[in-house]
Amino acid sequence: MLALVVAREGPVQSQTCLGVRMQLMFPAGQNVPSKTMIQMQNDYSSRTLIPGLPEDLAKICLALVPRRYFPGMGAVSKRWMAFIGSREFIAVRKEVGKVEEWIYVLTTEADRNGSCWEVLGSLDQKKRRLPPMPGPNKAGFGVVVLDGKLFVMAGYAADHGKEFVSDEVYCYHACLNRWTAFAKMNVARRDFACAEVKGVIYVAGGFGLAGNSLSIVEAYNPQQNKWTLIESLRRPRWGGFGCGFNDKLYVMGGRSSFTIGNTRSVDVYEPDLHTWEELKRGCVMVTSHAVLGKSLFCIEWNNQRSLATFNPADSSWQRIPVPLTGSSSTKFCLGVLGMKVLLFSLEEEPGYQTLVYDPAAPSGCEWQTTKLKPSGSCICSVSIEV
């Protein structure tokens, strides 16, 4: 009889996360299996997630494990790594009701050069740093979340100047806790708009290699790992931001070569029709934005003590005053966690608490505070559900 002894990394509630160290023990007098036998067993194990279990049941077992153990699970075998890194894994997590949302923040610190990503986890977890992102320290880049992955795209080398514009794309896999280089964009750019719509990433406008303003738009297909040039903006545009609503791409803010100062126009792209249209009711000089459900929340440069909210259903805007409770800061970076909007202070205030806006709370109770905050000044933040 063959016994399998597995080293465990500690209890995992009702599920168990298995370490990679395994020791085979054979009863006295039993012949050690031949290399051919072991190879056959290894081949079988590589084709199955959990030997002896039906594939669909094995997938459910892995999906039930708490999220913090995923990186270690990915090291068990190539088969586990491939499944945990797949879209199917997230789909199974959703089916069994085990999806967890964590917020990731890019921060800078006064005593450190450059920036770093850190995960704040949920409202009751401690923050930790991500592995360093490949490539030089950048600015003017775009970030998009798709299928449990964080895409950091283009920008320029902050240590060398704005003329060093990049076309590189790096992807952080939240399940495996590692960075990977993906296909480069067709056009290097910085200070552009980007967003995900119907499983496709779009980048629009910005500045090119020679500092020229761009109207060029690209779309990224994650299944093909390929960027494709699509219909251009109606005019060059830079310094804006993008978001997806109702299966359409919205490009707002920033400047256009056809306007003096910042533009209020909104460029809307409909992928199914491959057409652009223009709305006249946009926001001006947005310093931070976040999408929660079917609403867009913005902080404007000239009015940091109110949230500007956009409803794409009727293209209407309204303003929500920001209270002084928790922070006297006049500059914020927005984030989203647990169907709430978080206002991270951009100014170092000892003892301050992060403001939280809950649009679903009863009237008069929408604003709260939390001790959740980044270790330094917040540049941007994203939420990833897996």
Domains delineated in the chain: 3-95 (no CATH), 100-132+290-386 (no CATH), 134-282 (2.120.10.80)
Q: What is the pLDDT of residues 3-23, one digit of tens each?
A: 323 333 343 333 333 333 333
Q: What is the pLDDT of residues 341-365, one digit of tens each?
A: 999 988 767 777 889 999 999 999 9
Q: Which segments within 266-339 are labelled E, that is strand?
A: 266-270, 275-279, 286-292, 295-300, 303-311, 316-321, 332-337
Rounded to whole angstroms, the Cα distance separating 241 from 356 reads 23
| pLDDT tens, per residue, the chain with 386 residues | 323 233 333 433 333 333 333 333 434 444 444 444 434 344 444 578 999 999 999 999 999 999 999 999 999 999 999 999 999 999 999 999 999 999 999 998 666 667 899 998 665 556 789 999 998 888 999 999 999 999 999 999 977 777 899 999 999 999 999 999 999 999 999 999 999 999 999 999 999 998 999 999 999 999 999 999 999 999 999 999 999 999 999 999 888 876 666 788 899 999 999 999 998 877 778 889 999 999 999 998 877 788 999 999 888 899 999 987 655 556 889 999 999 999 998 876 777 788 999 999 999 999 999 888 888 888 999 999 99
Q: List C-alpha distances in Å: 360 to 120, 201, 339, 349, 356.
A: 23, 29, 9, 29, 12
Contacts of 309 (CB under 8 A, 6+ apart): 295, 296, 297, 298, 317, 318, 319, 320
- Structure-derived torsion over alpha carbons of residues 175, 76, 42, 38, reported in degrees to the nearest 10: 170
10 Å CB burial of residue 10 (0-12, 13-18, 19+) is: exposed
Packed helices 55-63 and 87-95: angle between N→C axes, nearest 10 degrees: 80
Strand partners, 107: 116, 378
H/E element holding 153? strand 149-153
Query: What's the token pair of residue 179?
Result: 């960075």
Rounded to whole angstroms, the Cα distance separating 285 from 239 reads 9
